[in-house]
Structure 1
Amino acid sequence: MQALLDAIAAMPLPTDAARIFHGRGGMHPGCEQWVLDAYPPVFVLTSFAPATEDALAAVGAALQARWEQVAPPGEPLSWVFQHRGEALRVEGRSDTRLMAGAVPDPHVVTEAGARFRVHVLRGQNHGLFLDMAAGRRWARDFVAARQGSRYGLKVLNLFAYTCAFSVVALQAGAKQVVNVDMSHGAIGIGQQNHQLNGITTGAAFLPHDIFSSWGKINRSGPYDLVIVDPPSYQKGSFVATKDYARLMRRLNDLLAPGGHALLCLNAPELGLAFLQDQMRELAPELQFVERVANPAVFADVDEHRALKVLVYRAPDLPPAAAVAPGP
């Protein structure tokens, strides 16, 4: 685990929520089980395999030593350990321990000027997916570059979770964002995130199953940007291998002329071809634009296993037919 200890020894004082060490990408042989995140002022160490108490003590000592070097005098170190072994992951569970210090309640973190509520002591999802930081930056830049749009940009945020995409889109000047997620709890936190950022208008929240809500979704369209960020597998709601295609078939109807779709997938077992081949078959009108690069800290030995964030563009309206001159 030396690479993890080296990363701790070199890290600056975190200000925004961010990943510090990403062993899961395979770039640090022998450290594949380890991930270290900062949700200031709390660090979260995650292990995807059993961890010995000696290993945890070594990490704790490294965090304490670096904290004393970079933190304001007198501010205590706070860190959490979460074990996500294979058996626990299959059951959707994790074991979480507060190792030192305390976790604020409410716990609010920042990213690029936006504020978000997180919860690091319960569940595997902490309220803000750090690997999607580049996707959120892309969405912010996309909207900001089109602020002069005549009617204002409309955004559809599918599988919205806690609505981070919505916050950054509205901050960048979007006119309206429709957030859809079947989790009432996640949508509730999403509403709090908008309030945290002083956003009082422009957002709609639909705590519904997407696949049974197309009528409501279509009524607010068409959209200049459609964000699709589903779980790779969530029993009873979404299984990427069979359900992503159902979304792709809808894109052409959801998008305004020249509109863009941001398709996201975090499933190591499904490579780029899974999305690209199906898009060519099911939404051939949409043109592939680019793959959004993941944050550098999430580097992976195999880019096909890493998070995939792909941009597609709908065709523009055809030029108006020339009007023949009168006699």
Structure 2
Amino acid sequence: MQSLLDAIARATPGTDARRLFHGRGGLHPDATDWALDWYAPVWLVTRFGEASDEDARRIGEALAARQAEVHPGQPLNWVFQRRQPDGPTSRPLTTVMTGQVPEAHDVTEDGTHYRVHLLRGQNHGLFLDMAEGRRWVRAHAAGRKVLNLFAYTCAFSVVALQAGAKEVVNLDMAHGALATGQLNHQINGITAGARFLGHDLFTSWGKVNRLGPYGLVIVDPPSYQKGSFVAAKDYPRLLRRLPDLLLPGGHALICLNAPEMPESFLREALAEQAPDLVVEGRLPNPPAFADASSDRALKVLVVRHP
């Protein structure tokens, strides 16, 4: 765990939410099951597995010392989340260790505001590893109609509309996540241009097609969510329909965050199911998410319809 403590001692949290330590990347053998995130003004420490009281004590002392250095006079707020493996999912136990942490608060990234819930489950409302994907969308969405599949809290939609997208269609089965997505638009002053569809994609192709075609399609599904999407089974049948959704010259972001599935899975599925589409490249992940294996890390491919 010393690598985590060393990272805390040199952490420089700023105004934006971001990851500060990524043990899961395999570059720190003594801390492979630890992560440290900054959701200003809250430090979030995550342990994938069991953690002792001594671990918590040492982390708390390190955070208190660093807080006093980088934010003198300001209270320390830190949350400890322990995730117990349970098959392909995990059961988080979240504890406010120090300070006053609300059930929800707003954070920023590149000037955009997002509502996050650090005390609710294991998904907090903003996936920090997708920062480069949001920047790509911000740079390419102007003038395009966008389809945001598995929209979650609609972060892609917010940045697309800020960048000048014509319209964004957000689709997700989780009505609670979409409600937060609507709030994310409101807190950024976006009052028009977004649709929110609380539907199962695989029973809603007709509606999705009627609202298209699209200049940009974003596909960022869960890797394994029983009853919703299982990547190994469902990604190929989704990619089969992708060319029909895209305008000629349109782009798609194809995302996969499953450590057990390599980049070749996506490339082979695209070649088989949508051979006319061209893979232009893979987006880099934020430096904080550096990984010993590119196949284990988040994979985001940029695809173009000729």
Larger Rg: 1
Aligned to 2:51: 51
Aligned to 2:69: 69
Structure 1, residues 143-172: CA drift from partner, whole Å, max 9, x if none? 2xxx4xxxx310000000000000000001
What stretches of structure 2 of length at least 5 have no aligned partner? none
Contact 1:13 1:71 in 2 (8 A): no
What is the CA-CA distance between 1:105 and the residue it aligns to? 4.8
SS in structure 2 opposite 1:30? helix
Aligned to 1:15: 15
Aligned to 1:5: 5
Aligned to 1:266: 257
What stretches of structure 1 of length at least 5 have no aligned partner? 316-327
Does 2:69 correspond to 1:78? no
Aligned to 1:322: none
Aligned to 2:204: 213
Structure 1, residues 5-40: CA drift from partner, whole Å, max 9, x if none? 111111113311100100000011110010011111
Quote the Cα distance in structure 2 between the aligned partners of 1:183 and 1:215.
Answer: 20
Q: Where in structure 2 are the equivalents of 1:148-163 lying within 5 Å? A: 152-163=143-154
Aligned to 1:114: 112
What is the CA-CA distance between 1:104 and the residue it aligns to? 3.1
Quote the Cα distance in structure 1 between the aligned partners of 2:53 and 2:265.
Answer: 40
Quote the Cα distance in structure 2 between the aligned partners of 1:210 and 1:43.
Answer: 35
Q: Partner letter of residue 18 of structure 1?
A: R
Q: 1:94 aligns with which of 92, 105, 113?
A: 92
Contact 2:45 2:80 in 1 (8 A): yes
What is the CA-CA distance between 1:122 and the residue it aligns to? 1.4
Aligned to 2:302: 311
Q: Partner letter of residue 129 of structure 1?
A: F
Aligned to 1:27: 27
Q: 1:231 aligns with which of 209, 222, 227?
A: 222
Does 2:195 correspond to 1:204? yes
What is the CA-CA distance between 1:219 and the residue it aligns to? 1.3
CA RMSD of aligned residues (A): 1.1
What is the CA-CA distance between 1:106 and the residue it aligns to? 3.7
Quote the Cα distance in structure 2 between the aligned partners of 1:282 and 1:130.
Answer: 30
Q: 1:280 aligns with which of 252, 271, 288?
A: 271
- Please identify which structure carries the higher strand content: 2
Contact 2:249 2:305 in 1 (8 A): yes
Quote the Cα distance in structure 2 between the aligned partners of 1:173 and 1:72.
Answer: 40
Contact 2:103 2:118 in 1 (8 A): no
SS in structure 2 opposite 1:35? strand
Q: 2:123 aligns with which of 122, 125, 131?
A: 125
When the two structures are aligned, how many residues end up with a matched partner?
306
Quote the Cα distance in structure 2 between the aligned partners of 1:269 and 1:13.
Answer: 31
SS in structure 1 opposite 2:81? strand
Quote the Cα distance in structure 2 between the aligned partners of 1:141 and 1:103.
Answer: 34
Contact 1:155 1:225 in 2 (8 A): yes
Quote the Cα distance in structure 2 between the aligned partners of 1:167 and 1:8.
Answer: 31
Q: Partner letter of residue 97 of structure 1?
A: T
Aligned to 1:183: 174
Does 2:233 correspond to 1:242? yes
Quote the Cα distance in structure 2 between the aligned partners of 1:227 and 1:312.
Answer: 10
TM-score by length of 2: 0.98
Quote the Cα distance in structure 2 between the aligned partners of 1:2 and 1:193.
Answer: 37
What is the CA-CA distance between 1:102 and the residue it aligns to? 1.1
Q: Partner letter of residue 136 of structure 1?
A: R
